[in-house]
Structure 1
Amino acid sequence: MNFTPNFQPKNIVASIENLVEKGLKVVALAEQSDNWDSVITPIDEFESELGRLTSVNSHLNATMFSDEFNAEYEKTLPIITNFYSDISSNKNLYQAYKNLKNTKLNKQQQHILQESIDGFELSGVGLKGEQSKRFKAIKERLSLLSNKFSKNSLKATNEWTKVVELNELIGYGEVELAKIKIDKGYELNLQMPVYMDVMTYLDNRALREEVYRAYVSRASELGITSADFDNKAVMDEILSLRTEMANILGFDHYAQLSIESKMVESVDQILEFLSNLVGKSKSQAQAELNELAKFAGIELMPWDLGFYSEQLKEQKFDFKKSELTPYFPEQKVLEGLFSTIENLYQVSLHQIDEPSYHDDVRVLEITKNGKLIGKIYLDLYARKDKRGGAWMADYQPLQGQDKPIAFVVCNLNSPSEGKPALFEFDEIVTIFHEFGHALHHVLTKVKYACAAGISGVPWDGVELPSQYMEFFCYERDVVTRMSEHYQTKQTLPDNLYNKLIESKNFQSAMGMLRQCEFSIWDLKTHLSLKDTYKVLTEVRKDTALMPSIKDSRFLNTFGHIFSGGYAAGYFSYKWAEVLAADAYDYVNTQGGIGSQASLDFLHNVLETGGSQEFMASYEAFRGEKPGIEALLKANGITT
């Protein structure tokens, strides 16, 4: 049993080629077989073996990027894509799967089998001749374009820096200054922790504008970065190929193809859902913006929103966001997170001393009654060679003697000048969110890798466990456990906690509108042949409360859609947020953390993974389908 990832991969092209050759032999035997153990089991086991290698390669390319490794990594993408294309278009294997419907299977197996058959059909198994060849070529090209988009975004982000003097940083406190201190002054960059500080605290409006313009024009023809990193042509080709792929399969557009594998029933259903949220949020959002404009006393521009929002929030609730930060040093935050997980799900979580791919990475073990359940590799800090954002990636599923392993990655500030890393509360919410994903993967009880953890879960269900976890980090007992002033050692006092809760839904309707805008744009850009920026302009007529600057090219680094798997599925965040708010509201009324209801969520949602219809899992936990009332209540939106 290998329970430690190999973070020193050598000859990754040859390794992938050898594994693929082995996989083709596995498939050849499976397509001639007639029972579960000789058809699905060997393929499931092989795909887990291949998945471990591809997961490590992808992970290192995202967290330890180098041109040398990326060049080899890119060579593996067509090999992997072509292998899966060969499997999904293998008519003999497809027939072997269909023949299993006439054998005796348990309910989990029946569900997995039907999902697999549906997957064959959505992957072009029925295509012939030139159509089949073209479909395969499209998938290969898309894998390369996705990596190119991500690489361009990373390099464009890293290319911009600006050295500034201390007198240009009025508004910054010790914590913010520590993040950008260099030998000869201070250096701003476009890494998320630094960028957000500029937008939130920097009094210098001209400098805020300069940083904002650099940020939203990354990887575009307007950016100050190299033209080699312009992603627009990459985006256009991705969208064109997705449309062609959908058309080949008989769909009108890619949004239809995407919806086929999700819980929702149609594009129209989700557009109606999003329009409903826009309608219920817009008037309150406009009132929030009017309040902000009146407070600022100037014509607001995009680089003003974060700064004046923080000032207004400070006035309304009599505290600064930065007042919270000293109370949340990294180690104490993690202790509070771990204890919350332990109390929610009756497990133990602790750090172990084990080497990893970078000194920053913590290795965590989850156990129950002394027995190992799984492992999480936690990579918290921002680095120049690391892709932006936060995510969870699964390395190894529960299979046989192998325990689940997950990677959790964030881009937060690191310790500096003898101080521990101090986290803003929004960053703590992000950590809880990603651990929700990791727990979904690690706590599974499903013994079929293709349906264990997040595998086999529809994309609009994947975000439920992560968004559900977010709610708990606002509870008083949880905040107490994860707060300790790094100097005074005092926990967060009641007056600051109360102000945090009072301000939790500050400008929540504006935030709701923004997320709905992204989701509607994403769907409409995948059901139209129009230029994606023209689609955005049309969508913003209904969702935007203030104009965007003409130089904004933020879509050029929108990795969720162009390299992160959320294409025509960004709505999943809002759809799952309905489930999460409903779930938390229910658990809270039934006793909260440690109650039977919280264990019911574990047993019926986390442990069952993709082994049955996801809504059936939710209803088994909740007793009924969710409504949007809890979501609106959680966001403080009154209708």
Structure 2
Amino acid sequence: MTNPLLDTWTTPFGLAPFDRVEDAHFAPAFDAALDAHKSEIDAIATNPDAADFDNTIGALESAGKALDQVLSVFYTVAGADSTPAREELQRAFSPRLAAHSAEITANKALFARVADLWARRDALDLSAEQQRVLMLTHRGFVRSGAALTGAEDARMAAIKSRLAVLGTQFTQNLLADERAWALPLSEDDLEGLPDFLVSAARAAGREKGAEGPVITLSRSLITPFLQFSPRRDLRELAWRAYVARGANGGATDNRKIAAEILSLRAERAALLGYDSFAAYKLETEMAGTPQAVRDLLMAVWTPARAQAQADAAVLERMMHEDGINGDLEPWDWHYYAARRRQAEHDLDEATLKPYLQLDRMIEASFACANRLFGLEFTPLNLPLYHPDARAWDVTRNGQHVAVFIGDYFARGSKRSGAWCSAMQSQAKWPQVRHPIVINVCNFAKGDPALLSYDDARTLFHEFGHALHQMLSDVTYPSISGTSVARDFVELPSQLYEHWLEVPEVLAEFATHAETGQPMPRDMLDRLLGAATFDMGFQTVEYVASALVDLAFHEGTPPADPMAMQAEVLAELGMPRAIAMRHATPHFAHVFSGDGYSSGYYSYMWSEVMDADAFAAFEEAGSAFDPERARALETFILSAGGSRDPAELYTAFRGRLPGVEALLKGRGLAA
């Protein structure tokens, strides 16, 4: 039987032939592609010719094409449209991929070639980009344990394999908990809920096969329910279920998994000679050290906590005025904050949402990219992996640039959150290839689909990541697009959020779902005027999570992560009515893989830069200043990992930023 995953794809733009791919294809394709990559690696390692850049580093860059092709399809559907069969395959693939990666970095003959090139680097006449790729390759081998021998080498391989298993299990447990819970609502329970939320709850009920509306653990349903439901008892039920994900006991409980992950990470760092996993992880980031991260987070924590405490006192008074005695609880905050925003800014989510239609916000994100970078987006009618997904041909001056795929709606088969990935990254080696980029979100369905302002910011955020992929212009795949330091990767995404706040963008694209009329100017002014409303809450819940992540990885790994989490929050003086944005059992950023471990702070580090970077446009007099846009593309969006991120930012802005612009942007400056 012909396996489409192993074919040379002749589809338009080289897009995966999703209409021909079946789950039965994945395992045999994976086996064949993995074997092919092993053979390619062996050929590079045993090449009788003396090592040079092309036959070693260049060969590594071009190896594994078949494996990349198989995995790009598999991980797309495993994350966005999971099934029990795909979850089983993921559990099988993860340790084998980890072992394969460990075998590559433990290949002594291969490492000897890389080390030889590194030792002779000054005599190789390499381009600046080649020098960078060589440095990153050599550093990657060393940090993966290539220099280890004997028992330490074997132990490192075992740790990597076990971490891969645990990360997959953590993710699948979280998805299982999210899929299993729903709060059925009677008609009486709908009282006080706006039409958009009732419509979304009915759609969620249909998706789950329920007879009536339900609230699921999708953030796009939970958050507005907490904002609008006058039923304090139901708000508490929903909130407790949301924060209990991964901590419900039984087979899907993530607490012991988190403890084992932290222990293995610490052991891994120790094998490589580091004092802690945080020291190991941060060595290659812009921050550099755990202390630098802590200094930033605490500089923000202190004013944010003070603001949150002041806000809590106001909300608690409002609650007491309703005749509810006692302390303000976490399930009360959204409800009274929404009422306060209505009173102080005359902004009601139910009134605002009809102006934030999903399709119009997609148009807005495209229009900004057109004005800034000359990109144009034409819908494509191609088979994709799910009916909700849609695709566009991205062009500039009539030339194909990329394919962009958007998959925006929540469903039970999709993991929570929002993300951007490249099914194919941009490269010129060994031949030119154009990126195929996907944004995945979890917005509530509706007719039409309506977004909260936070949802709209998420859409712009993920599209900023997509632009980083689509505008990449480098030679080698390993430094393409978002292949940059973790605390730099969020700069393009968070920076792009600012264009949603540009008045002329909202004036054009924030049009009413029923009347088609633009958002009234006074509402627009009130919306932008409330940009920092409740920022104390938002900052505290985020920074608390980042500080707990840092504490987990900075010293001796905790035997009981939940106890350490409680200790860190107590030392910080965490306001009682605010919970961590991501508590340990559902902290997927940190425990689903190593990506954001010791790195959840990176959103804040990048925000220091994005606030300063957008100020460059403001100083130029226009959010669409062409000179600043060209510089942004040249030094940030197109450069990938071809240069040190501090160099790239300095080339764009002329200097590195301080924390002042961030505090001002969040309304936390003194």
Q: In the alignment, does 2:310 pair up with 1:296?
A: no
Name the counterpart of 1:200. Answer: 227
Q: In the alignment, does 2:213 pair up with 1:186?
A: yes
d(CA) in 1 for partners of 2:295 and 2:544?
13
Selected match of 2:152 from 121, 131, 134: 131
- Could you report, residue by residue, the CA deviation over 1:477-526 in whole angstroms, capped at 9, with x for unpaired residues? 11123222111110111111111111110121232222211111101011
SS at match of 2:213: strand
Q: In the alignment, does 2:438 pair up with 1:438?
A: no
Greater mean deviation of Cα atoms: 508-517 or 362-371: 508-517
d(CA) in 2 for partners of 1:508 and 1:548?
14
- Could you report, residue by residue, the CA deviation over 1:241-280 in whole angstroms, capped at 9, with x for unpaired residues? 1111111111122111111221112111111121111123
Q: In the alignment, does 2:187 pair up with 1:157?
A: no
- The CA deviation at 1:576 is 0.5
Matched to 1:12, the amino acid is F
Selected match of 1:588 from 618, 625, 633: 618
Selected match of 2:73 from 56, 62, 72: 56
Q: Percent identity?
A: 28
**Cα contact 1:322–1:424 (8 A) shared by 2:** no
Matched to 1:361, the amino acid is A
Name the counterpart of 2:3. Answer: none
Name the counterpart of 2:445. Answer: 414
**Cα contact 2:374–2:397 (8 A) shared by 1:** no
d(CA) in 1 for partners of 2:659 and 2:344?
28
- Could you report, residue by residue, the CA deviation over 1:385-406 in whole angstroms, capped at 9, with x for unpaired residues? 1101000112111132321111
- The CA deviation at 1:201 is 0.7
- The CA deviation at 1:532 is 1.8
Change in CA separation of 1:552 and 1:344 when aligned onto 2, cut-off 3 Å:
closer
Matched to 2:43, the amino acid is L
Structure 2: state its 5+ residue gaps.
1-7
Name the counterpart of 1:608. Answer: 639
d(CA) in 1 for partners of 2:662 and 2:65?
37
- The CA deviation at 1:551 is 13
Name the counterpart of 2:346. Answer: 318
SS at match of 1:305: helix
Matched to 1:232, the amino acid is R
d(CA) in 2 for partners of 1:153 and 1:202?
26
What is the 5 A alignment of 1:489-504?
Answer: 489-504=516-531
Matched to 1:81, the amino acid is A
Selected match of 1:463 from 479, 490, 496: 490
Q: In the alignment, does 2:468 pair up with 1:447?
A: no
SS at match of 1:364: strand
**Cα contact 2:308–2:575 (8 A) shared by 1:** no
Selected match of 1:29 from 43, 57, 60: 43
Matched to 1:138, the amino acid is I
Name the counterpart of 2:103. Answer: 86
Greater mean deviation of Cα atoms: 68-77 or 441-450: 68-77
**Cα contact 2:537–2:578 (8 A) shared by 1:** no
- The CA deviation at 1:439 is 0.9
What is the 5 A alignment of 1:339-350?
Answer: 339-350=367-378
d(CA) in 1 for partners of 2:405 and 2:297?
35
SS at match of 2:129: helix
Name the counterpart of 2:267. Answer: 244
Q: In the alignment, does 2:119 pair up with 1:98?
A: no
Q: Cα RMSD between the aligned structures?
A: 1.9
- The CA deviation at 1:213 is 1.3
Greater mean deviation of Cα atoms: 46-55 or 102-111: 46-55
d(CA) in 1 for partners of 2:36 and 2:92?
19
Selected match of 1:272 from 268, 291, 295: 295
Name the counterpart of 1:77. Answer: 94
- Could you report, residue by residue, the CA deviation over 1:167-210 in whole angstroms, capped at 9, with x for unpaired residues? 12222111110011257432222222221122111110011111
- The CA deviation at 1:334 is 1.3
Change in CA separation of 1:625 and 1:596 when aligned onto 2, cut-off 3 Å:
same
d(CA) in 2 for partners of 1:35 and 1:349?
41
Name the counterpart of 2:280. Answer: 257
Selected match of 2:128 from 85, 100, 107: 107
Greater mean deviation of Cα atoms: 100-109 or 440-449: 100-109
- The CA deviation at 1:552 is 12
Matched to 1:584, the amino acid is F
SS at match of 2:439: strand
**Cα contact 2:111–2:141 (8 A) shared by 1:** yes
Selected match of 1:509 from 530, 533, 536: 536
- The CA deviation at 1:47 is 3.7
Q: In the alignment, does 2:16 pair up with 1:5?
A: yes
Matched to 1:36, the amino acid is F
Name the counterpart of 1:17. Answer: 31
SS at match of 1:185: coil
- Could you report, residue by residue, the CA deviation over 1:453-482 in whole angstroms, capped at 9, with x for unpaired residues? 112x01110100000011110111111232
- The CA deviation at 1:549 is 9.8
- The CA deviation at 1:364 is 1.6
Name the counterpart of 2:604. Answer: 574
**Cα contact 1:343–1:594 (8 A) shared by 2:** no
SS at match of 2:597: coil
What is the 5 A alignment of 1:347-496?
Answer: 347-399=375-427, 400-415=431-446, 419-455=447-483, 457-496=484-523
- The CA deviation at 1:79 is 2.1
Q: Compute the TM-score of the two structures, normalised by the length of structure 1.
A: 0.95
- Could you report, residue by residue, the CA deviation over 1:563-600 in whole angstroms, capped at 9, with x for unpaired residues? 15211100101000101111011122113214211221
- The CA deviation at 1:72 is 2.1
**Cα contact 1:396–1:404 (8 A) shared by 2:** yes
**Cα contact 1:601–1:621 (8 A) shared by 2:** yes
SS at match of 1:199: helix
- The CA deviation at 1:550 is 11
Greater mean deviation of Cα atoms: 542-551 or 241-250: 542-551
After the TM superposition, list the runs of 4 or more consecutive aligned residues in structure 1 that deviate by more than 4 angstroms.
548-553
Structure 1: state its 5+ residue gaps.
none
Matched to 2:588, the amino acid is G
d(CA) in 2 for partners of 1:608 and 1:82?
31
**Cα contact 2:607–2:662 (8 A) shared by 1:** yes
- Could you report, residue by residue, the CA deviation over 1:202-241 in whole angstroms, capped at 9, with x for unpaired residues? 110011111111221122246xxxx211111211111111
Name the counterpart of 2:60. Answer: 43
d(CA) in 2 for partners of 1:142 and 1:105?
36
d(CA) in 1 for partners of 2:285 and 2:404?
27
d(CA) in 1 for partners of 2:265 and 2:135?
25
Greater mean deviation of Cα atoms: 90-99 or 606-615: 90-99
SS at match of 2:63: helix
Matched to 2:413, the amino acid is D
Q: In the alignment, does 2:658 pair up with 1:634?
A: no
Name the counterpart of 1:147. Answer: 168
**Cα contact 1:525–1:532 (8 A) shared by 2:** yes
d(CA) in 2 for partners of 1:548 and 1:244?
36
d(CA) in 2 for partners of 1:482 and 1:445?
30
Name the counterpart of 1:233. Answer: 256
Matched to 1:116, the amino acid is T
d(CA) in 2 for partners of 1:549 and 1:330?
29
d(CA) in 1 for partners of 2:572 and 2:241?
24
- The CA deviation at 1:553 is 9.2
Q: In the alignment, does 2:200 pair up with 1:169?
A: no
